[in-house]
Structure 1
Amino acid sequence: MSFFLAIDAGGTKTTGVLADETRILARAVTGTVKLMRVSEGEATSRLRGLLSQLSLEAKVSLADLTRTCIGLAGLSIEAVREWAEREIGEVVGGELLLCGDQEIALDGAFRGGEGILVIAGTGSNVIGRASDGTRYSAGGWGPALGDEGSGFWIGQEALRGGFWARDRNIPTVLLEEISEFWKLESIGEIVEKANLRPGPDFAALTPVVVKCAEQGDDLAKAILERAGEELAEQVSLVAVKMLETGTNGEVGLAYTGSVIEHVGIVRESMVRALKQSAPRVKLMEGAVDSLEGALWRARGGGRNA
């Protein structure tokens, strides 16, 4: 019997399954192992703990694995790839497949076929695969250079918008709610915290912005709607590239990430914008399970992809 390990190592958490050809034998979850967020020692400890838990629950030795597929954020960074190859390779048997986290999400939706995936959580990215297998992307350059429509972007825009409105005496409760969330007592403290280096977790402010929008704050709602429009623009860029390769008919659009999954205003705004900019792109029902894409690859799917 063959055994397969699939891991989705994202920016906020790491999930894994150990399976045979037809059944999932064990599931486990731990914190992120993304080296840009935690130390190498912490990442290694979390990864090894996850692997041990899966092996124990499934009653399968890691040495007996046929193939492992791990989707890892930041894989384009050489140090990240070297760490993953070393730490996983030392404890698991069989073949090791390293993929970007966006690749396994794309496969979770389309199983190697044509389609576009929009990722909008802490960061944002859009990736598409044309009918000939060519991949295209837009965004994903990190918070300092882009990540439009992401949680980080929404948090920063809420602060910028709040101060913009304060200078112009435009009513909004954004700064008040952010101050309460951060447990601060003055405008000066907000300015100081927002300008710290390294900076605060701006993405954590997304629920605050959503709350303000739901309570009728026009500026908060406008920020969330603009987030959807920014994501739609990136999707449109990828769609144009795919259509130039000869893609015919409608193109499926899948999504994953906390913002696009849970913030309806953002998702609905994106769909409205796409009706104008990319009418052949159609949103699929339900969020993608990236781990399913990693397991599909571990079991041998996409061997020629």
Structure 2
Amino acid sequence: MTQLLALDAGGTSTRAVALDHDGEVLGLGRSTAGNPTAAGIVPAAEAVAAAARAALPPGTTSDMAVLAMAGEQSDAFRAEVEQRLAAYGVTRVVLDHDLLALFCSGTASLEGYALIAGTGTVAARVRDGSLERVVGGRGWLLGDAGGGFWIGREVVRAVVSALDGQAEATALTQDVLGALGIVADPAYEAGRVSAIRQLVSAVYARRPVALAELAPLAFAAAAAGDPVARRVVVAASEALADLLDAVRVPDLEGPVVVGGSVVARGVLQAPPALSVDLTPPARGVAVTAVPDGLVGAAVLALRHTGAEVDDARFERLRAAIRLPQPA
């Protein structure tokens, strides 16, 4: 019996769902990073195949796979994925944008807006079921203001400036030193010098985007009342709202779907004492937050077969596709 495969390939994990052609969920799977930019072409293709294998029930194959992913959809990556999924009967691989899958994870509507703010940031306008305009997604070196890397970099800069005596003290100092395993007592001059030396070495020894791991420290310190951290997260929220504004137009209201740890677990889940100062992602318009793009990938897979996904079918998909979220 042939099925459909829908996959959401992210920089941390790859999620998969097997469906029949009526949209009934038959299996779910998860594997490691399936984004070739994050993991490399071959490891990412292997992760996609592993997630597909976990989702397909024994004895079944799939005639089509829809893969939602960020970044460049290169011919080399497609070839690696096609080669591996052929073992499961797949004869057609469709690569879709993760922004479109994210949007379709939050609504059955064919038009509206999507915003992803995780390590990086990107926003899109969706019209007639397709991406009409995309802004952002330029990576840590050229953009991604308001994302996890951007916040983490601002946090480290604030800590270095505080240790150097060039800026005000911040609770982030001990938080960052602890997170990076740095042992030093910045209450004394020698300790400050040692802390800066170790901090600089630790940061430059890691991949630049690893600074995104420090973003939750900013939200926690801001919620606890640290003014330095508060300025960082307020600026991040303003940058995300500006990014979404760049794709919004007066003639398209539509739902707004958001995802990614910074917006979903940071901005939207901030306590009242902090959220009062944060700029809402859509500047007051209600948003729908989703954990990932797997439901949307399933929606896209069905639509690629010509099937209609109305509100009722969408709600059935959303209820059935519930992979446990990693801790």
Instruction: Tell me if TM exceeds 0.5.
Output: yes
Code of the aligned partner of 1:28: G
Q: 1:145 aligns with which of 138, 142, 153?
A: 142
Q: 2:296 aligns with which of 290, 293, 296?
A: 293
TM-score normalized by structure 1?
0.84
**Cα 1:127–1:218, aligned 2, differ >3 Å: closer, same or farther?**
same
Instruction: After TM superposition, give the deviation of residue 133 of structure 1 in Å.
Output: 5.1
Instruction: After TM superposition, give the deviation of residue 19 of structure 1 in Å.
Output: 1.5
Report the equivalent of 1:157.
154
User: Per-residue CA shift, 1:273-297, capped at 9, x if unaligned?
Assistant: 725xxxxxx2323326411111112
Report the equivalent of 1:69.
66
Report the equivalent of 1:279.
none
The DSSP-based 3-state class of the residue aligned with 1:211 is: helix
Cα distance in 2, alignment partners of residues 134 and 40 from structure 1? 25
The DSSP-based 3-state class of the residue aligned with 1:148 is: coil
User: Per-residue CA shift, 1:205-258, capped at 9, x if unaligned?
Assistant: 11222222222211111111111100111111111xx43xxx25x342110111
Does structure 2 retain, via aligned residues, the 8 Å contact 1:89–1:96? no
Report the equivalent of 1:212.
221
TM-score normalized by structure 2?
0.78
Q: 1:262 aligns with which of 262, 265, 284?
A: 265
Cα distance in 1, alignment partners of residues 40 and 137 from structure 2? 22
- Greater shift, 204-213 or 129-138, is seen at 129-138
Does structure 1 retain, via aligned residues, the 8 Å contact 2:240–2:281? no
Instruction: After TM superposition, give the deviation of residue 272 of structure 1 in Å.
Output: 7.3
Cα distance in 2, alignment partners of residues 129 and 107 from structure 1? 10
Q: 2:100 aligns with which of 98, 103, 106?
A: 103
**Cα 1:271–1:4, aligned 2, differ >3 Å: closer, same or farther?**
same
**Cα 1:210–1:188, aligned 2, differ >3 Å: closer, same or farther?**
same
Instruction: After TM superposition, give the deviation of residue 169 of structure 1 in Å.
Output: 4.4
Cα distance in 1, alignment partners of residues 38 and 131 from structure 2? 31
Cα distance in 2, alignment partners of residues 302 and 119 from structure 1? 27
Percent identity at matched positions? 24
Q: How many residues align?
A: 289
Code of the aligned partner of 1:7: L
Q: Does residue 229 of structure 1 match 2:227?
A: no
Report the equivalent of 2:8.
8
Report the equivalent of 1:86.
83
The DSSP-based 3-state class of the residue aligned with 1:75 is: coil
Does structure 2 retain, via aligned residues, the 8 Å contact 1:32–1:43? yes
Cα distance in 1, alignment partners of residues 268 and 231 from structure 2? 10
Cα distance in 2, alignment partners of residues 47 and 272 from structure 1? 31
The DSSP-based 3-state class of the residue aligned with 2:280 is: helix
Instruction: After TM superposition, give the deviation of residue 47 of structure 1 in Å.
Output: 2.7
Cα distance in 2, alignment partners of residues 303 and 270 from structure 1? 40
- Greater shift, 214-223 or 103-112, is seen at 103-112
Q: CA-atom RMSD, angstroms?
A: 2.8
- Greater shift, 84-93 or 45-54, is seen at 84-93
Does structure 2 retain, via aligned residues, the 8 Å contact 1:33–1:46? yes
Instruction: After TM superposition, give the deviation of residue 94 of structure 1 in Å.
Output: 4.3
Does structure 1 retain, via aligned residues, the 8 Å contact 2:42–2:77? no
Instruction: After TM superposition, give the deviation of residue 160 of structure 1 in Å.
Output: 1.4
Instruction: After TM superposition, give the deviation of residue 265 of structure 1 in Å.
Output: 6.2
* Unaligned stretches of 5+ residues in structure 2: 184-194, 308-327
